[in-house]
Amino acid sequence: MSTNELSRVALAMVAPGKGILAADESTGTIEKRFKSISVENLEENRRAYRDMLFSTRGLSQHISGVILYDETLRQKSADGTPFAELLAKNGILPGIKVDAGAKDMAFCPGEKITEGLDGLAKRCAEYVKLGAKFAKWRAVITIGKDAPSAACINANAHALARYAAICQAAGLVPIVEPEVLMDGDHDIDRCEQVTEWTLRAVFAALANQRVVYEDMVLKPSMVISGKDCAKQAGVQEVAERTLRCLKRTVPAAVPGIAFLSGGQSDELATAHLDAMNKIGGAPWRLTFSYGRALQHPSLTAWKGRETNLAAAQIALAHRARMNGLATAGRYSAELEKERGKAA
């Protein structure tokens, strides 16, 4: 793809009213999700679950793209249509997670470095053939007593930038995802400080690797209080601080920012995005790329049973619609309650 095509895809990923469904859980991560509904982690169950999600009627109204895992990109819908083809037919861009996971980082206790650069160009070429239009790489930054370290931030920023350059050269739009974890009892000040440090390092590395800002999407975490912090910041404060931090660090040439949910509850993740868009005035589109916060109600409704398919799809369509509204700052508690009516 030429840079024009890449920038067209990047803009489509963050199109008004739409966001991204992250359904790229590795086999190990989906096992955790399946355990919560007592479903065995078998290839056929993983396929059936993703089939349920992807064949939700009208999904493309609020979902611009879906991030897949390697196995899923090679799987097919019940009628034999490859998932990538099914999504594309329905006007949804298929994407692929290309990192090999966050591993313990040497000499940095408690910190992680994401692996997967070796052989990445070759894998990207195959993913393009399989129909992928964009890619994702997640870096993890941990907040702790002596963390994050400069070593961890810089190594992860460098890896993200190398990944992004390789993807763009191969014809895939990179989703650059530096996630500052919400685990811990740190306050929102500390989260803001670490997020700002991380984003500065990431954009310095992206510039250094000649990554084209117009042809990428940023997927950051929001600036929020640590999960175990006694004082939890409210929705407005999270929105204001997240916007302030992003304005300080993210070039306006980046077309869009699609947040991860990172363990926030479904409705809070929607409310935070909505509050940012209600404030308005940002130079980039602000949308979602949620995994848990989009899938959770659907997963719990599904429980691995064919008979629950319709209820599970209604639950997904509802969350997608609520988040779609949040991209325009048009979400409200009243609309949230309309789930029954949507059925």
227 and 219 in contact (C-beta within 8 Å)?
no
CA 246 – CA 252 distance, rounded (Å): 10
Smallest gap, in angstroms, from Cβ of residue 262 to ligand 13P? 4
- Residue with smaller CB distance to ligand 13P, 218 or 293: 293
- Residue with smaller CB distance to ligand 13P, 31 or 81: 31
- Residue with smaller CB distance to ligand 13P, 22 or 306: 22
Taking CA atoms, 302 is separated from 20, 33, 162, in Å, by 21, 12, 39
At residue 202, the 3 state secondary structure works out as: helix
Using the rule CB under 6 A, is 226 a contact of ligand 13P?
A: no
Beta-bridge partners for 320: none
> Considering only residues 232-271, where is the footprint of ligand 13P by CB under 6 A?
260-262
Among residues 25, 177, 179, 196, the one annotated as catalytic is 177
> How would DSSP label each residue in 214-244?
GG-EE-PPP----TT-SSPPPHHHHHHHHHH
Considering only 40-48, 83-91, 161-169, 288-296, which stretch makes contact with ligand 13P by CB under 6 A?
288-296
177 and 257 in contact (C-beta within 8 Å)?
no
Smallest gap, in angstroms, from Cβ of residue 319 to ligand 13P? 11
Structure-block tokens of residue 14: 């963050």
- Residue with smaller CB distance to ligand 13P, 65 or 148: 65
Q: Of 293, 315, 322, 325, which one interacts with ligand 13P (CB under 6 A)? A: 293
User: Residue 311: enclosing H or E segment and its boundaries?
Assistant: helix 309-326
Per the annotation, the verdict on 177 as an active-site residue is yes
Among residues 18, 112, 136, 219, the one annotated as catalytic is 219
At residue 50, the 3 state secondary structure works out as: helix
Is the preceding peptide bond at 148 cis, omega within 30 degrees of 0?
yes
54 and 97 in contact (C-beta within 8 Å)?
no
- Residue with smaller CB distance to ligand 13P, 123 or 138: 138
Considering only 86-94, 153-161, 208-216, 286-294, which stretch makes contact with ligand 13P by CB under 6 A?
286-294
> Considering only residues 166-195, where is the footprint of ligand 13P by CB under 6 A?
177
Using the rule CB under 6 A, is 292 a contact of ligand 13P?
A: yes
CA 111 – CA 240 distance, rounded (Å): 28
CA end-to-end distance (rounded Å), the chain: 40
> Considering only residues 131-170, where is the footprint of ligand 13P by CB under 6 A?
138
Distance of alpha carbon 270 from its chain centroid, rounded? 14
Smallest gap, in angstroms, from Cβ of residue 2 to ligand 13P? 27
Smallest gap, in angstroms, from Cβ of residue 22 to ligand 13P? 3
Count of C-beta atoms within a 10 Å radius of residue 76 = 14
Smallest gap, in angstroms, from Cβ of residue 205 to ligand 13P? 19
Using the rule CB under 6 A, is 291 a contact of ligand 13P?
A: yes
> Considering only residues 16-55, where is the footprint of ligand 13P by CB under 6 A?
22
Q: Which residue is nearest to ligand 13P (CB)?
A: 291
Active-site positions read 177, 219
What residues line the site for ligand 13P (CB under 6 A)?
22, 138, 177, 260-262, 290-293
